[in-house]
């Protein structure tokens, strides 16, 4: 049966199978995220900045700053990712540095606690993020920067058809050695062809 315009816009943008994209909770989320910042493994996968433990109070201020930035710059869409079963916070996802004239933006996502990793949540989050980027923001392409040692992220991006476009040789230093920084890109066309296949 052919889809009508009413069916098309009814496709949920924020609901995955086990997870959903949601807003931030200024009271509860900083407490959870503070725990993640004490996990050096997570921080080194999610951040290029040096890992540093942050208090809930500091994170709360950062949330306020982020929301102000969203309002002023109009080039940033932050989401929290939550488990549908109990609405608990499981990660962060972000579309940032949107260049509207060129239709380009950067994606970032992370699953915060070790218990929630390796369950396919990242995949579900990325599927929603891409749909939002291409079918709602109408971007032409998206870009993701990944550390050479971040095997999980590289596998995830490749699974969704991202192409390794740039290798910034020895662009970062961690654990006393240099690592490449990889840039992956996915075009709207490529995403659309896959989604139909």
Partner 1 sequence: MRDLFRGDLVCLASEEPETSSKAEILWQPDSEFLRLSDNEAASILSEKKIREFFEKRAENGPKPGSYLFSIRTLKEGKPIGFLGLRVNLIHRDSLVGIGIGDRDFWGKGYSTDAMKLCLGYAFTELNLHRVSLGLHEYNPRALRSYEKAGFRLEGRTRKDLTREGTRFDSFWMGILREEWLQ
> Where does this chain bind partner 1 (CB under 8 A)?
48-50, 99, 101-104, 140-141, 143, 163-173, 178, 183, 185, 187
In the complex with partner 1, the residue whose CB is nearer, 22 or 103, is: 103
| Spatial separation of the C-alpha atoms in residues 22 and 37, rounded to whole Å | 20
Shortest approach of partner 1 to residue 180 CB, angstroms? 9
In the bound complex, what is the minimum distance in angstroms from residue 5's beta carbon to partner 1?
A: 28
Q: Which is nearer to partner 1, 49 or 72 (CB)?
A: 49
Closer to partner 1 by CB, 61 or 178: give it: 178
CB of 107 to partner 1, least distance (A): 13
């Amino acid at each position: 049966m052919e889809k009508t315009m009413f069916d098309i816009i009814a496709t949920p943008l924020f609901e995955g199978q086990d997870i959903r994209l949601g807003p931030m909770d200024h009271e509860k989320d900083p407490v959870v995220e503070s725990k993640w910042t004490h996990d050096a493994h997570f921080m080194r996968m999610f951040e290029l900045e040096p890992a540093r433990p942050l208090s809930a109070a500091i994170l709360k201020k950062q949330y306020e700053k982020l929301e102000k930035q969203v309002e002023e710059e109009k080039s940033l869409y932050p989401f929290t990712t939550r488990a549908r079963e109990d609405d608990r916070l499981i990660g962060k996802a972000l579309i940032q540095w949107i260049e509207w004239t060129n239709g380009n933006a950067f994606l970032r996502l992370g699953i915060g606690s070790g218990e929630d990793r390796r369950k396919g949540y990242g995949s579900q989050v990325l599927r929603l993020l891409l749909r939002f980027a291409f079918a709602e923001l109408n971007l032409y392409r998206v870009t993701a920067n990944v550390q050479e040692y971040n095997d999980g992220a590289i596998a995830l991006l490749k699974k969704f058809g991202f192409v390794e476009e740039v290798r910034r040789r020895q662009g970062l230093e961690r654990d006393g050695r240099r690592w490449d920084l990889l840039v992956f890109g996915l075009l709207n066309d490529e995403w659309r062809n896959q989604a139909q296949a």
